[in-house]
Structure formats: structure tokens, C-alpha cells
A and B are shown apart, each in its own frame.
Chain A
């Protein structure tokens, strides 16, 4: 089982990445992400709230079929967050390859 903190970070980055392609709304975000991460609308909601609170996305309302739909748009801060995420994971990836290839073990034997 993935660490909750880690999963949250990943999901946030996924949501931002979806929004980086185009503005989207709750239901669609979940659908678009369904293949990548396990995500329900209920778990998405706090993430959206957090991202909004940290200025990573902005919200606007659009009328759709006689009701209101909230659309989310990524902000500059949000884009920076994605970049930061990718940078962080590059270093994680280095560690990953190191571990995968057996690290310093070969030299020791």
C-alpha cells in the first residue's frame, strides 16, 4: 500500500497536470485520471480545496444544461508546482535506479 502522504502528493500533481491541458470540472477530472490513479470524487474534493487554498488553481462557474458547473483552471503557481514535482522526482528516479541496479553491492562482493 502506498504511503498516504505520497499518494496525496501524486494525486495533486495528477490533478494539476490534467488542468494544465485544459480547464476541467470535478467529474471529468476523475474520469480523465481513472486510468492513472485510483481517485473518487470524494477524494478529489479535498484535493481541489487544498489546491485552491494554495493558489494552484482558480475556480469559475459555467452554466451547463440549466445548472451550474464549477470549472477549475491552473494558475502560475500551479504550473510551478508541476515543475517542482518533476524536479523532485528526477532525483527520486536517480535513487530508484541506484537501488534497482544493486547500488554499491557489486563493488563490495
Chain B
């Protein structure tokens, strides 16, 4: 076994220790192997002259105070799906399923409500634009009949078109803002999830 292989295995066996302790141990054995090599052994001989990794690791772990091990165990994330978790998920289904459904539906309805504001603004803008154009056209057509009414209609139509054009930009800006917010929320969710999974 090569030195690096030995040290890697040792580090893996020392997973229950706090990282700094494990690193110290690995450094110690690295030094010992180097010193033996300097004394004339080959790397393989130096590694072979040491005890096997499991024996070394178990002795060090036994020598570590229990509270350190427990603390480390609590700090490290457990594997996500353990049998206990599965059992709890199944037994707890009547509790968490409706909760989950209601949370999801609340989030969904907020989402829909926000978008419906955008959609209704767009609809208002659209109808204002259409009615403006229609009023202007009708006004133009009736200028020859009733001049005052025709001019009024044309004016009102133009005002409507102008307002619609302005409101369109506002609505578009709002839509963009929503898209940005949703993206940010999604990123936030993702980040929270990754953090949870890393647990570090």
C-alpha cells in the first residue's frame, strides 16, 4: 500500500472524529512514514510496518471522549432516507399530507393572484387601446356630421391610446419584476435545499 493510500483510508476510518482531530492523526502518521523512509525503509515497507488502518482508527476513536463523538455525530448530517425516516413518513402521512397540500395550494394561489394582477392590467391596457382606436376612428368618421362630437371622440380616443401606451410600459415593467422575483425565490429555495443537503 502506498503512503497516500494508507492515509486516505485512515482519514476515511476516522470519519467519526471532528475534522481537526482526524487531520492531526493523519498528519502524525504521515510524519511517521516519512521518518521511517528517511531511516532507510521504502514507502511500502514503512506502511507495512504500521498496524492496519482499522486497528489504528478504532484505538483512536476509543480514546476519544464520548461527548466529542456525540457532538460530532449530531453535527454531521444523517443520510436523508433512513428506515426510521421512511416509517415516520408513512405513519405521519395523515398529518403531513394535508399540510403539504395546503401549503402547496397557498403558494400556488399567491402565484396565480400575482399573475392575474399582471394579466388584468394587460387586459385593461389592451381594451383601453382598442377602445381608443375605435373612438378615434368613429370620431373621424362623424366629424362631418356632428363636428363637436367628432372632435371629442377623436380627442378621447387619442387620450385612451396614449394612456394605453404608457400603461403598457408600466404593465411590462411589472411583469418583468414578477419574473425576477420568481427567479430569485426559486434560487433561494434551491440554495436552502443544497445547504441542507451539504449540512456544512
Question: Would you give the 0/1 interface string for A49-75, flagging 1 where the beta carbon is closer than 8 Å to chain B?
Answer: 110000000000000010111100000
Q: A42-B50, A42-B51 given as contacts; is B31 within 8 A of A68 (CB)?
A: yes
Q: A26-B32, A67-B34 given as contacts; is B50 within 8 A of A41 (CB)?
A: yes
Contacts of B56 in A (CB 8 A): 42
From the candidates B28, B60, B63, name the one contacting A26 in the complex (CB within 8 A): B28
Q: A26-B32, A42-B50, A45-B25 given as contacts; is B60 within 8 A of A65 (CB)?
A: no
CB pair B35 A26 closer than 8 Å: yes
CB pair A26 B31 closer than 8 Å: yes
Interface size class of B (residues with CB under 8 A): 10 to 19
From the candidates B29, B31, B36, B63, name the one contacting A49 in the complex (CB within 8 A): B63
Answer yes or no: B38 CB below 8 A from chain A CBs. Answer: yes
Label chain B's interface by main secondary structure: helix
CB pair A27 B60 closer than 8 Å: no
Contacts of A26 in B (CB 8 A): 28, 31-32, 35
Interface size class of A (residues with CB under 8 A): 10 to 19
Answer yes or no: B195 CB below 8 A from chain A CBs. Answer: no
CB pair B60 A46 closer than 8 Å: yes
Q: Which residues 14-35 of B sit at the A interface, judged by CB distance below 8 A?
A: 25, 27-32, 34-35
Contacts of A49 in B (CB 8 A): 63
Look across to chain A and name the residue whose beta carbon is closest to the beta carbon of B30. Answer: A67
B107 vs chain A, min Cβ distance (A): 52
Answer yes or no: A40 CB below 8 A from chain B CBs. Answer: yes
CB pair A45 B28 closer than 8 Å: yes
A48 vs chain B, min Cβ distance (A): 8
Answer yes or no: B200 CB below 8 A from chain A CBs. Answer: no
Look across to chain A and name the residue whose beta carbon is closest to the beta carbon of B38. Answer: A65
| Complex: A50 Cα to B62 Cα, angstroms | 13
From the candidates A27, A45, A46, A69, name the one contacting B36 in the complex (CB within 8 A): A27
Q: Which residues 4-59 of A sit at the B interface, judged by CB distance below 8 A?
A: 25-28, 40-42, 45-46, 49-50
B1 vs chain A, min Cβ distance (A): 16
Q: List 10 A-B contacts (CB under 8 A).
A: A25-B31, A27-B35, A41-B28, A42-B56, A45-B25, A46-B59, A46-B63, A67-B30, A69-B35, A70-B27
Could you list which residues of chain A lie within 8 angstroms of chain B, going by C-beta atoms?
A: 25-28, 40-42, 45-46, 49-50, 65, 67-70
6 shortest A-B CB distances, which residue pairs?
A: A27-B35, A46-B63, A41-B32, A42-B51, A42-B56, A27-B32
